[in-house]
């Protein structure tokens, strides 16, 4: 290729990047760009709304796209800068060959934060598996996180304790049924599911911190998994989370299931706003 053709090609590429940036500035719905992770360019499907400090980042549960935060994010963004995103292989974010280990998930969150030039205080809001992710991120980057707000987060001992109450045959049957169900989901969802038991084991070595305020909303509404016996197990585990940690506040509900932020959005918004106003 001669010099004139090469120059023309570079000019066209530069022009296309400028146009893309102009479109992003006009729209809340953004795709973070041009951040390399080894040789991979990471492009998370990302929604940024509002202004103000601290920045609130929403981390979804297993296999759940960012739009499950729509109602919460819209209200909280009235007073704060808010970010939700699709993890790799979820929603509209591209898939990855990297296993969805807790280390990789937390590292992806750090890439998202770096891509969006967030250098002020951050509050991480995590649902279900997202609770593990934000906890691991805080443990890996404690200086970046001012607080955690967890919505029915997965407890690192819950599956082990539930399986202990069952016969080995029944426990194996439950695990197989769950695995078969997730195999029917998109590959990005299944890849997250494959790591859940390993993630639990790792998080047992990473207790809740005592240095930042933490609010946890827990659902004790009965369902196929939340039987009366399993609810008692979860209550005990929640109590263990709070033991000797005055910085941890735990609230519970029976009016909504695992997706509390969808079943009781007004309650979640009220508690999150109260949490944010009480930050020092």
Pick the more confident residue, 232 or 5.
232
pLDDT of amino acid 96: 93
Pick the more confident residue, 11 or 195.
195
Q: What is the mean pLDDT of residues 161-175?
A: 94
For 98, the token pair is 């990297």
pLDDT of amino acid 154: 96
Indicate the range of 16-20, 36-40, 58-62, 205-209 predicted with least confidence.
16-20
Task: State what percent of residues in the chain have pLDDT above 90.
Answer: 82
For 26, the token pair is 């006009």
Q: Is the pLDDT of residue 179 over 90?
A: yes
- Distance CA(76)–CA(82), nearest Å, equals 7
- Distance CA(87)–CA(55), nearest Å, equals 18
The CA-atom distances, in angstroms, between 227 and each of 94, 127, 175 are 37, 21, 17
pLDDT of amino acid 41: 66
Mean of the per-residue pLDDT values of the chain: 87
Q: What is the mean pLDDT of residues 223-248?
A: 94
Please name the residues in contact with 22: beta carbons below 8 A apart, sequence gap of 6 or more.
Answer: none
The pTM for the full model equals 0.85
């Amino acid at each position: 290729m001669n010099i004139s053709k090469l120059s023309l090609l570079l000019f066209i590429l530069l022009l296309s990047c400028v146009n893309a940036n102009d479109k992003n500035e006009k729209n809340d719905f953004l795709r973070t760009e041009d951040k390399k992770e080894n040789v991979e360019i990471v492009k998370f499907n990302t929604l940024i709304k509002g202004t103000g400090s601290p920045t609130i980042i929403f981390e979804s549960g297993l296999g759940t796209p960012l739009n499950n935060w729509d109602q919460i994010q819209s209200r909280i963004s009235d007073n704060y800068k808010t970010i939700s995103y699709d993890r790799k292989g979820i929603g509209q974010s591209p898939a990855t060959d990297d296993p969805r280990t807790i280390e990789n998930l937390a590292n992806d969150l750090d890439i998202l934060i770096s891509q969006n030039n967030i250098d002020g205080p951050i509050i991480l809001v995590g649902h279900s598996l997202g609770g593990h992710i934000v906890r691991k991120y805080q443990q890996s980057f404690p200086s970046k996180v001012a607080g955690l707000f967890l919505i029915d987060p997965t407890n690192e001992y819950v599956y082990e304790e539930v399986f202990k109450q069952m016969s080995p045959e029944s426990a194996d049957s439950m695990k197989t049924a769950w695995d078969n169900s997730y195999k029917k989901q998109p590959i990005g969802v299944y890849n997250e599911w494959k790591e859940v038991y390993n993630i639990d084991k790792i998080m047992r070595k990473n207790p809740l911190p005592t240095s930042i305020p933490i609010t946890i909303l827990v659902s004790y509404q009965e369902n196929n998994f939340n039987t009366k016996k399993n609810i008692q197990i979860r209550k005990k585990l929640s109590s263990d989370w709070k033991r000797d940690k005055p910085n941890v506040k735990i609230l519970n509900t029976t009016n909504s299931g695992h997706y509390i932020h969808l079943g009781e959005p007004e309650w979640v918004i009220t508690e999150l706003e109260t949490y944010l106003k009480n930050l020092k």
